[in-house]
Structure 1
Amino acid sequence: MGDKSPRQKRQNAAPGAQLAQGNGRPPNGTPRGPPPPSHSSTPDDETDENIFLFVPNLIGYLRIVLAAASLFFMPLHPRRCSFLYSISCLMDALDGIAARKYNQSTRFGAVLDMVTDRCTTTCLLVFLATAKPAYSWIFQGLISLDLASHYMHMYATLAMGGQGESHKNVSASRSWIMNKYYTNKAVLFTTCALNEVFFIALYLLCFSSPLITPALLPSAGLAGEMGHSPTTPHQPLPSLFFASPFSAAAMEMARANKMDSTVPWILTLASSPVMVLKQYINIIQMVKASRWLAEGDRRDRKKALVARGGRKGQ
């Protein structure tokens, strides 16, 4: 064999060069940094607990199942729907009790709880919007206010308060009503519960009260003159309260006519002030979150201006 060329000698002197280049060595020859940690291994700063199987989170999963079942029965079976929906809402208090008892408070559980609340309320309001299309803009506005308020509050808490800050830690100096709302468990539970009671009762009225659903009247327009049952209201009389007498309640006339509207009316009227208070808190929460984010923006802009001024002075 003849003498090797200088190029071959350099390759033999560094047998791992090609391997290093194949592994992604930068062109300038700078060695690559340490490989990223594997996600399959447990880091030293974490426990090996399964957060998803914590007791309060299991309660949260059960809430989702009950809420989904209530949505299934919502169009045609108001009794089953309201029962399952109410149980799901009442279990909202159990996950907090379990979290404190078993020392299993987690950020995942807090987000799961909030997302479940927002989704269930939104689904109920969507049904009310379809049941009373003439007033769907009100329910759409309530949905938008609820989602926007909680999203902005959560984002402001994470952006301005830090990752470890809870959205329930609201100082009285920032908003005394939100401080009372989030720090007093009795106030928080009562406000949220009665807010849900209002919409559940309004949902039941769609199946029981002719004042809300004129199609439930014993005779409506030509339906009474022609001897038709109220299950087929051909030309129902227009309502003084609602532009359109048709609603999703018309799908369940036989069942709806067996329902008494007394209790739903009492619940609706009794819980309406708390529902209005809850919407006011949502507005305050959105305004305060917006101002908090604007404070952070002004601080960041001032730092940027100072930094640019320092560079110009140099």
Structure 2
Amino acid sequence: MAPQSTQRALSVYLYIPNIIGYFRIIINCVAFALCYSHKTLFAILYFFSFFCDGLDGWFARKFNQVSTFGAVLDMVTDRVSTACLLAVLSQLYRPGLIFLLLLGLDITSHWFQMYSTFLSGKTSHKDVKDKNNWLLKAYYGHRPFMAFCCVASEVCLSTIKETPLLSLSFFVTLIGWAVKQVINVIQMKTAADSCVFYDTKRSK
């Protein structure tokens, strides 16, 4: 039994979307090692990793390789890369506290969401069909809208100093960034409510 169990575990580790996840980690490590000395190369590598974030989900559904490990790997990789970006920006721009507050909001929101997902027995933190908030449903239910918010948020943060404040592209990305932060707050509150509901149900 043990060899068969080990073989199954190995196969999950070697799922195509999980291999993409490992590749993203390597890309991010290289990118952040160069973030101060080669900013253009850093931006290219960071956004390539961001692009691969969309590929892993597609491969998971295409080859029926959806896994809990993959979901956690994807979440952790996303959160760490965003945290590192915000930490770097807090050193480059002032006031740096703004970026650190955004970092805290991002981690808190997604941690609550992931934990409440497992408490409810769901397999994906993106399953919000039972939630009442329309914006949260729109974010996770419509991939183009999610992609716009995520890409706009990353671009807005990465180019906030280089982009003229009155440019159309800046306002478009600023809107996406603002919506993403509102969704983070909503997600944190609804996920916290789910955790509290679990506690009250368990205590009865």
Same fold by TM-score greater than 0.5:
yes
Distance, in Å, in 1 between the alignment partners of 2:158 and 2:27 is 15
Aligned-partner SS, 1:42: helix
1:150/1:285 contact within 8 Å kept: yes
Alignment match of 1:57 (pick from 18, 31, 56): 18
Q: For residue 297 of structure 1, what is the aligned residue in structure 2?
A: 199
Of 174, 177, 180, which residue of structure 2 is paired with 1:278?
180
Preserved contact between residue 126 and residue 140 of structure 2 (Cα < 8 Å)? yes
CA distance in 2, matches of 1:140, 1:128: 9
Secondary structure at the aligned position of 1:50 is classed as helix
Conservation of the 8 A alpha-carbon contact between 2:128 and 2:137:
yes
Gaps of 5+ in 2: none
Structure 1: distance between partners of 2:79 and 2:52: 15
Q: Bigger radius of gyration, 1 or 2?
A: 1
Give 2:138's aligned residue: 180
Q: Distance in 1 between matches of 2:54 and 2:131?
A: 27
One of 79, 85, 92 as aligned partner of 1:118: 79
CA distance in 2, matches of 1:140, 1:165: 30
- How far apart are 1:47 and its partner, in Å? 4.1
1:129 maps to a residue whose letter is S
Q: Give 1:208-219 correspondences, 5 Å limit.
A: 209=162
Aligned partners of 1:93 and 1:166: how far apart in 2?
Answer: 15
Percent identity among equivalent residues? 34
- Report if aligned partners of 1:71, 1:81 keep a CA contact under 8 Å in 2: yes
Structure 2 residue aligned with 1:7: none
Deviation of the 1:262 alpha carbon: 5.9
Consecutive unaligned residues of structure 1, counting only runs of 5 or more, are 1-37, 210-260, 304-314
Contact kept? 1:197, 1:267, Cα under 8 Å: no
AA in 2 matched with 1:275 = W
The two structures have a TM-score, normalised by structure 1, of 0.60
Aligned residues between the structures:
203
Post-superposition shift, 1:106?
1.1
Instruction: Calculate the TM-score normalised by the size of structure 2.
Output: 0.90
Deviation at 1:42, TM superposition (A): 2.8
Matched, 1:130 2:88: no
RMSD between aligned residues: 2.3
AA aligned opposite 1:153: Q
Higher helix share: 2
1:93 matched to 2:54: yes
> Is 1:80 the equivalent of 2:41?
yes
Q: Give the 5 Å matches for 1:130-169.
A: 130-132=91-93, 134-159=94-119, 161-162=120-121, 164-169=122-127
Residue 175 of structure 1: CA displacement?
2.1
Once residues 178 and 270 of structure 1 are traced to their aligned partners in structure 2, the CA distance between those partners, rounded to angstroms, is 20
- 1:127-152 CA deviation, whole Å, 9 max, x = no partner? 111112x4111111100000000001
